[in-house]
A and B are shown apart, each in its own frame.
Chain A
Amino acid sequence: MDLSSFSAYQLLELLNQQELSSVDCVDYFLKQIENRNPDLNAFAALAAESALEQAQAIDRRRQKGEAVGPLAGLPVAVKDGICTQGIRTTAGSRMLEQFVPFYNATAVQRLLEADAILIGKTMMDEFGMGSSTENPHYGNTRNPWDLQRVPGGSSGGSAAAIAGGMAPLALGSDTGGSIRQPAAFCGLTGLKPTYGRVSRYGLIAYASSLEQIGPLAWTAQDAALMLRVCAGQDACDSTSATRAVDDYASEIESPINGMRIGICRDQLGKGLAPEIESAIEQAVSVLESLGATFVDITLPNSSHAVPAYYVIAPCEASANLARFDGVRYTKRADSTELDQMYSKTRSDYFGQEVKRRILLGTFALSSGYYDQYYIRASKIRRLIQQDFDRALNEVDVILGPTTPSTAFKIGQWVDDPLSMYLADVYTVAANLAGLPAISIAGGVDSNDLPIGLQLQGRPFGEAALLRVAHQFQSQTDFHTRRPN
């Protein structure tokens, strides 16, 4: 059986009906990894043995008729920036080459408690800083749709794992677009939840006020399943929300008749690939045919989102990454002098982009510049939030592009960080505003590459986003296409 053509939801049905054993399911994906990962380099670590053991246990429980969790027996992959107890977690950095966490991230713990099976850790840009998963320490991850192209980043390994048929479901994290952009490049559904919806405990921090853990999957239905398990308050994360988690699986079934969808015309045209723009227009027709009405909105401060993001994120990163000093759990460069040990460790084991952002953030926070950079960026952030508040008063969700282009070539922007930063132009605003946003497959370009559409919603409006996505997917088949 070619399990990679199934969605996670369909696999779960087979598992629950015992038409497929978890052992066979896990075994299938492990074999896929064996065959395809050498080309794709999507995985950073595998947990084959423990995965098969877990699968056996779950099969036994199912056979005995015991209750099993909502993801029972389903293999999942987890981004390598999320801590997994006993499984090496590098966050894509050589600094953490030997780091084996002694605890699970809350989101991982919840997956395991739902009886999901962790099959491996996926590649990423170092500490999430990048949009291409071109990793200076562990190599480039390739896009399963075109091996010469990037899968996007920073959750590029999770996206390539699913698109490459090596996992049906994966966790990513999104600081400025790191779930949505790879989802767009790989033809997947990727959801960045509202800030506080999913616990960040165990997510190796890049920019704490911006990032969220979220699902990558083929379909909105799959993403709904995974989010439902991972979301909810966590006593270990003060910024996690107390609000109850919606029943996404049932909410997505409601029609979108009468729903108001905003579209920001300013974001179309200049800088956006024409094929993506026409995919948006086609999506408008599909959604209108389902009874949604479209309203033009404006987000006047959105052009400041990338500059604000590239101040706030590096500022937070400069402090978040200070713990990697060679003293505990990281690699340590040889030196007899403390200051030399620090500087050598950090010079040797951080990559270029990480060092660039640490320097940027350190500079922006330093005395005399703090007001000019950090405070100013924080003010812009509030203006962007106010733009969204206004717009989302008028409409339920906002439709737009996820990325300015489809997947770009490996090496294309490696030496041009500014162009690379613009890959985030449509995604960072949701992080700055803390809003939920989803990317879904909404077209194919002339190179046969997937096109991503983005929907942004109200705080804790994940159900509305998933519902629009699911209803769109009920009318289209972009989410069922698979790379050759």
Chain B
Amino acid sequence: MSFEQTTIIGLEVHVQLKTRSKLFCSCTTLFGASPNTHTCPVCMGAPGALPVLNRQAMDLAIKTGLALNCRIETATKWDRKNYFYPDLPKGYQISQLDRPICSNGYLDLIDPEAQFADRRVEIERAHLEEDAGKSSHDETQMGGESKIDLNRAGTPLLEIVTRPNLRSGMEAKAFLTELKLILSNLNVSDCNMQEGSLRVDANVNLHLTKEDQRIATPIAEIKNLNSFRGVQRAIDFESDRQRKQWNNDGLTIDQAAKQTRGWDDESGQTILQRTKEDSADYRYFPDPDLVVIHTTSQQIEAINSEIRPLPSARRASLMSDFSLSAYDAGVLVHQGDPFVDFFETIARHIGDGKLVSNWLQQEVLRYLNEKQTDIDHFPVSEEQFIALLERIKEGKLDTSRGKNVMELMMEERLSMEQSLERLGIESLDSEELAAICQQVIEENPDIIQQIRNGNDKAIGNLIGKAKTINRNVEPGLVRKQILTFIKNG
């Protein structure tokens, strides 16, 4: 009998908070300016400069902590983490060691497709710290100068650390996707991995069990993860690699040092960067330049009251209030709160969640993806959307023509009325419709007989004939009139 293998994963997520200014000075946090233009004596670590806390960063951190069910520290202190690095201007980073602003929280993961079991991911802590600058080195190895850009130095980061509760690359990806959705809905971060506003490290090892034998492999910390898919692939690769390594050398967690490995997306491998023989001694101590910041329960309550229902709650209400499937609810909620709000407003009017969901998932999402925009910039108002769907629901417009109308509303920003007019769709009054139906019934007694004999599909044939008489007839209404005739006849 061979060893059973479980992959044990803990994540460290660095989230850049969306504050106007840096954590300890008033420099802007805007991304993309020329190097070292968003700097001042404080974030450049000039001799004599002192940090002053940006309270907005604390509020955003608390908001995140509350959404992740964390305990919020009411007396926050700051610590210096000492290490030398060229893009760390003060030679220490202001961080939080023993009193992180948020601790002991959790995030529940539920996979609607049931590819993994429901899982509670515990949040060990989330602490605030300042970001370092950015070094760029001469990649040609020709002895060119290394350069440092301190625009990013001092930007507020929230480092969210999970307990090792995750069990697969897929779960890790799902966790990050859900976390990102929460952070975006809270509007606390841009969560842009390309711009570095969301960075992930994964700690991975294996637990191997056979009967009463329990073995843990050495832990690897994986860095350079630049997409959620990368995280998933890196973990899966690392899991296999550690199994093979253990098969070869049999070394356990107590016998080998923790490794830092980099993910190479192109080759799909993790590559050894360094082995930590002994962990770095950061010589933490309380930063004497900053005072303890007290947060009252009223302040926490005020922040809490700004938090809207979380994705899990919104999915549940989409399923219960609008009868959507778990899958559909998941797709809508994944688009963010404004999209769900848009859906709910329309669906409440139309009273048919599935219909609205289909339109949003097909027409609207296709448009938003094509235009690389979001629902806040969608050209069709909720009122116009409702008007269109009501028309369809009442059978006054068929779905395929409805899509043509929608196309014009989106692309040319026309109102529904204008679009109908442009497409030459006019509503017939009931007398005209009755006349056309009468004509079709009289001219096609054999088809009527087929319907009477139970061939419902034959009614399509009559609708087609009605359309050749006048292309603006509403198929639904024609069907209704014909069925009424047959029933009464």
Contact = CB atoms under 8 A, between A and B. Distances in A.
* Among A319, A321, A325, residue most surrounded by chain B Cβ atoms (within 10 Å): A319
A350 interface: no
Nearest to B280: A367
B80 interface: yes
B425 interface: no
B289 A239 contact: yes
A46 B148 CA distance: 34
B48 A204 contact: yes
A103 B47 contact: no
B46 interface: yes
B47 A366 contact: no
Nearest to B146: A338
Interface in A306-340: 315-316, 318-319, 321-325, 327-329, 338
A143 to B, nearest CB: 28
Nearest to A330: B47
A323 B89 contact: yes
Nearest to A82: B48
B47 A89 contact: yes
B310 interface: no
Contacts of B289: 205, 208, 238-239
A362 B286 CA distance: 14
A366 B41 contact: no
Interface of chain B, helix or strand or loop or mixed?
loop
Contacts of B291: 238-239
Nearest to A99: B47
A323 B45 contact: yes
B237 interface: no
A321 B90 CA distance: 8
Contacts of A466: none
Contacts of B89: 323, 327-328
Interface string A206-227: 0111000000000000000000
Interface string B87-102: 0011110000000000
Given A362-B283, A366-B283, A236 B50 contact: yes
Contacts of A325: 84, 86, 91
Given A102-B41, A238-B289, A319-B82, A329 B48 contact: no
Nearest to B78: A238
Interface in A235-253: 235-239
Contacts of A208: 288-289
A349 interface: no
Nearest to B82: A319
Interface stretch (A48-56, A195-203, A386-394): A195-203
Interface string B38-52: 000100111111111
B92 A319 contact: yes
A165 to B, nearest CB: 29
* Among A102, A209, A322, A366, residue most surrounded by chain B Cβ atoms (within 10 Å): A322
Nearest to A375: B285
Contact of A323 (B52, B91, B281, B283): B91
A212 to B, nearest CB: 13
What band does the interface of chain B fall in when counting residues whose beta carbon is under 8 Å from A? 20 to 34
A328 B53 contact: no
A338 B86 contact: yes
B98 to A, nearest CB: 12
A315 B91 contact: no
Interface string B57-82: 00000000000000000000000101
Interface residues of A, number: 44
A78 to B, nearest CB: 12
A105 B48 contact: yes
B290 interface: yes
A101 interface: yes
Nearest to A93: B47
Nearest to B91: A322
A366 B285 contact: no
A87 B148 CA distance: 26
A325 B281 CA distance: 18
A370 B284 CA distance: 9
B153 to A, nearest CB: 11
Contacts of B84: 322, 325, 342
A374 interface: yes
A329 B92 contact: no
Interface string A354-370: 00000000100111001
Interface string A72-102: 0000000000110000010100001001011
Contact of A236 (B52, B90, B283): B52
Interface string B306-323: 000000000000000000
A328 B44 contact: yes
B82 A322 contact: yes
Contacts of B44: 328
Nearest to B283: A365
A360 to B, nearest CB: 13
B288 A102 contact: no
A365 B82 contact: yes
Given A203-B48, A205-B48, A236-B50, A327 B285 contact: no
B92 A322 contact: yes
B50 A319 contact: no
6 contacts: A103-B49, A200-B48, A200-B50, A322-B82, A322-B84, A328-B44
Interface of A: 82-83, 89, 91, 96, 99, 101-103, 105, 200-205, 207-209, 235-239, 315-316, 318-319, 321-325, 327-329, 338, 342, 362, 365-367, 370, 374
Interface of B: 41, 44-53, 80, 82, 84, 86, 89-92, 148, 281, 283-285, 288-291
